[in-house]
Structure 1
Amino acid sequence: MSQFVHLNPPAREWEYQSAGSESGAATDKSAVLAFHQTVPDYNETTLHSLPDLATELGLGHVLLKDESNRFGLPAFKILGASWAVYRAVGAHLKLPVEKGDIPFVEVGARAKEAGVRIVTLTEGNCGRAVARMATKHMGIPTRAYVPTYMDEATRAKIRSEGAEVIEADGSYDDVIPVALKEARSRENSIMILDVGVEGVDEVPRYFVQGYGTMLAESDRQVLELTGGEPATHAIVPVGAGSIGEAVTAHYKSSERKNGSGPATVIAVEATTAACLYQSLKAGKSVSVRTEDTIMCGMNCGTLSTTAWPVLRDGVGASVMVTDLEAHHAVVDLKDRGVLAGPCGAATLAALRRACKDAKQELGLDGSSIVVLYCTEGQREYSLMPI
């Protein structure tokens, strides 16, 4: 087997049981969708069909869920961030927001009266999304902690949403305890974090729930594009794991199996930050030392504690891709009219790698319907010389 692909055969038979589960994926997707439809700039993103790639790779369909413009932002994160901010603030104020039927403007007004403030940390897209919802839409002050290596252009985008940006030494993982200390030390501060760590698990689950809107959309869109046939494979980027958890729970759920049928989930990581790949190999969640990568949204060395159990049991394979492979995928998609960033395009790179190294083992053939979750739009990056 290729050093870039780790197969996880037990996942083939595993089902995610949503009823009574503690996972964030166990929520009413219709309630989340109804909430999202009240947020300014709500839109349903496009599912592109890429027939030439399907023919090239010997597959039935290659479909790409394009999250390059979600609520006017260039990434999927706003889906999770909007629901997480709303739910976390509502819970802090002891408001019954579980069904999403109290207007977020009302929740924001009450939060301002109570002196609530938001603390978050980010490598870019998540912090901007949190600030868009909390500060711009709900009027709640946001302080975003960022690692030292974040470029000024990305910081400026976060500030443009009204957030205060605070630099902290080290990597993303190093910044987590700094931000947590800030949130815990100040009254009426709420930590908005999409990564489960010890003592913080409820808010990350809200992020996972928020991604249900994207999954509900893509299920319907797949059927429309294939004449009623559901997806057989889904490929998703994995950083700390929240989006991977959402996709895996969705495609491996017992409810979906009784309807559309099960699907194989393939995770993709940068070679420089492959914590899921190494954790699956070790049989336990392990941390890895990360290095710079153009796939900066996936530059996480430790998995979310809430995501790991679902990823461990449900991911059919973890595929590592290099920066160069991700860059080539960006160019391939641009040639087809899809403007993707490296994290989003990495799913195409992973599909190419899977077809090259483990096609038979993963059941990829002429009947396969593969959905690529392209999680971010086009952005500037510098490819390091080889």
Structure 2
Amino acid sequence: MEEEFCSLSNVLKTEKNKGLWSHVDAADVQDFSEAVVEKVLAFQKTHKSYRATPLRSLDALAGELGVSKIYVKDESYRFGLNAFKVMGGIYAIANCLAEKLGLPIEALSFEKLKTKKVREQIGDLTFISATDGNHGRGIAWIARELGLKSVIRMPKGSSQRRLESIQAEGADVAISDVNYDDTVRICEQMARENGYLMIQDTSWPGYEEIPLWIMQGYAAIAKEISDQLPEAPTHIFLQAGVGSYAGGISGYFLHKYPDAPPKIILVEPNQADCYFKSFEQKDGAMQSVGGDMATIMAGLACGEPNRAAYAFLSKYSYGALSCSDDVTALGMRIYGNPLRGDDQVISGESGAVTMGALYLLCAEAGFAADKNKLAIDDTSRILLISTEGDTDKQSYHDIVWKGRYPNLIGKSRDELNV
């Protein structure tokens, strides 16, 4: 047998979580109840640009892969910013300002926050955040709309095009010479030294409230999905990163379906797979990943989990997938070149990894055991969220048009001319 150039285990690895469940304790996810998330979404809807993003049903692909349904939430339409992140930032910032004003969030709207009277009460305020691009652009956009300032720092290796997008929103933005987690620490120090207000979706002791608000902001996406879905999903594939987005989405669905919860499957780049490595541990102890975390999935290049998110994701996630970059490149091409009858989705590097992983699980014989481990069959109704569009258009073209990061499964060295 010819040697495979890229072995299956180097492309995608599956780890089934050891902390499985058949019922969800409402206390674990009470911060994502229907009442809470309705309040969150009610505020987000006060922005004049709010629109629920589309939910696609890829029926032809579902038939091709042998599952009942594949639903995809397309976040490239979110507030004109081409990514989901602003949903967390807008709610967190509103809550911070509500506290300063001594008002409940229900008494505020985005337009009211822009009034001269509120601006005078708030005073001169600067937000700061670490980001690979999408979160920082959202924070900078909100700050500009409110007439406030923002300072954004990006980790080593960040895209110049994403920096320019943030700069266009009026932010003080620069790329650091350290990874994401260390860039967060730099921002935290700058916030303390300069009196900036930090808006970050990861938590540490003493910094838990704002990350929770951001998670609740993300949970509003799940509420939108629930309103759009004709039936409950059996599986939800979620990009992990620090876990705040996955926590917000899964928190809502776990609270909504406590007696028949969907299987939550976390998906990460293999250079930043802190949840996967945590699930590998016999005791499930939280693990961190260091180094440069060099991956094209920049939005997921986070090595330290959000502790609050980890507390219930480690309990209720069904499994985790660790993926090489060519998995998300495959997903980008599948979304961009749909089967006849399915809608096209323009999905970026961090948005498409769940699609690439699902395709491999269902279409490649070498992953049959992994597919069975995750209980995927012809009755499965699978929900994916494309979290970003082509936020770096040149990179998107290089991958989808020019074939950068080809999927190498099953190709011999001779076939690849290696």
Instruction: Output the TM-score relative to the length of structure 2.
Output: 0.84
The structure 2 residue matched to 1:204, chosen from 206, 211, 223, is 211
The structure 1 residue matched to 2:299, chosen from 282, 297, 300, is 297
1:235-274 map, 5 Å:
235-253=237-255, 255-257=256-258, 261-274=260-273
Q: Distance in 2 between matches of 1:348 and 1:177?
A: 32
Q: Which amino acid aligns with 1:230?
A: A
Residues 98 and 108 of structure 2 are in contact (CA less than 8 Å); yes or no, is this contact kept in structure 1? Answer: no
Q: Which residue of 2 aligns with 1:50?
A: 58
State the shift of 1:197 in Å. 2.1
Query: Structure 2 stretches of 5 or more lacking a match?
Result: 1-7, 339-343, 399-403, 409-418
Tell me which structure has the larger Cα radius of gyration: 2
State the shift of 1:26 in Å. 8.2
SS at match of 2:313: helix
State the shift of 1:222 in Å. 1.6
Residues 28 and 312 of structure 2 are in contact (CA less than 8 Å); yes or no, is this contact kept in structure 1? Answer: no
Residues 43 and 108 of structure 2 are in contact (CA less than 8 Å); yes or no, is this contact kept in structure 1? Answer: no
Deviations 1:171-223 (A, max 9, x none): 11111111111111223x21111111232111111111111221111112221
1:158-197 map, 5 Å:
158-187=166-195, 189-197=196-204
1:59 lines up with 2:67 in the alignment: yes
The structure 2 residue matched to 1:334, chosen from 320, 327, 336, is 336
1:373 lines up with 2:385 in the alignment: yes
Q: Which residue of 2 aligns with 1:30?
A: 38
Q: Which amino acid aligns with 2:133?
A: G
Deviations 1:37-96 (A, max 9, x none): 1113111111111122211221100111111110111111011111011112222x1422
Q: Distance in 2 between matches of 1:372 and 1:24?
A: 19
Residues 144 and 166 of structure 1 are in contact (CA less than 8 Å); yes or no, is this contact kept in structure 2? Answer: yes
1:307 lines up with 2:283 in the alignment: no
Q: Which amino acid aligns with 1:218?
A: I
Q: Which residue of 1 aligns with 2:414?
A: none
Q: Distance in 2 between matches of 1:25 and 1:241?
A: 18
Residues 112 and 139 of structure 1 are in contact (CA less than 8 Å); yes or no, is this contact kept in structure 2? Answer: no
Q: Which amino acid aligns with 1:267?
A: L
Q: Distance in 2 between matches of 1:54 and 1:339?
A: 18
Q: Which residue of 2 aligns with 1:277?
A: 276
Residues 26 and 209 of structure 1 are in contact (CA less than 8 Å); yes or no, is this contact kept in structure 2? Answer: no
Q: Which residue of 1 aligns with 2:125?
A: 116
Q: Which residue of 2 aligns with 1:226?
A: none
Q: Distance in 1 between matches of 2:29 and 2:181?
A: 31
Deviations 1:259-296 (A, max 9, x none): xx421011100111101101122211111124211111
Q: Which amino acid aligns with 1:102?
A: L
Change (3 A) 1:373 1:328: same
Change (3 A) 1:374 1:25: farther
Instruction: Output the TM-score relative to the length of structure 1.
Output: 0.90
State the shift of 1:17 in Å. 1.7
The structure 1 residue matched to 2:110, chosen from 88, 104, 108, is 104
1:286 lines up with 2:287 in the alignment: yes
Structure 1 window deviating more from structure 2 (12-21 vs 159-168): it is 12-21
State the shift of 1:14 in Å. 4.7
Q: Distance in 2 between matches of 1:16 and 1:145?
A: 38
Change (3 A) 1:348 1:123: same
Q: Distance in 1 between matches of 2:374 and 2:228?
A: 23
Structure 1 window deviating more from structure 2 (282-291 vs 194-203): it is 282-291
Q: Which residue of 1 aligns with 2:22?
A: 13
Q: Which residue of 1 aligns with 2:224?
A: 217
State the shift of 1:353 in Å. 3.9
Q: Which residue of 2 aligns with 1:40?
A: 48
Q: Distance in 2 between matches of 1:197 and 1:28?
A: 23
Q: CA RMSD in A?
A: 2.2
Q: Distance in 2 between matches of 1:241 and 1:160?
A: 28
Q: Which residue of 1 aligns with 2:142?
A: 133
Q: Which amino acid aligns with 2:384?
A: L
1:90 lines up with 2:98 in the alignment: yes
Instruction: Quote the sequence identity (%).
Output: 28
Q: Distance in 2 between matches of 1:364 and 1:124?
A: 33
Q: Distance in 1 between matches of 2:360 and 2:405?
A: 21
Residues 72 and 385 of structure 2 are in contact (CA less than 8 Å); yes or no, is this contact kept in structure 1? Answer: yes
Change (3 A) 1:24 1:119: farther
State the shift of 1:9 in Å. 4.4
Q: Distance in 2 between matches of 1:160 and 1:12?
A: 46
State the shift of 1:31 in Å. 1.4
Residues 18 and 26 of structure 1 are in contact (CA less than 8 Å); yes or no, is this contact kept in structure 2? Answer: no
1:358 lines up with 2:358 in the alignment: no
Change (3 A) 1:7 1:256: same
Q: Distance in 2 between matches of 1:251 and 1:9?
A: 20
Deviations 1:274-331 (A, max 9, x none): 0110112221111112421111100111111221111101110101111111101101
Q: Distance in 2 between matches of 1:126 and 1:27?
A: 26
Q: Distance in 1 between matches of 2:14 and 2:250?
A: 18
State the shift of 1:241 in Å. 0.8
Give the number of equivalent residue pairs.
373
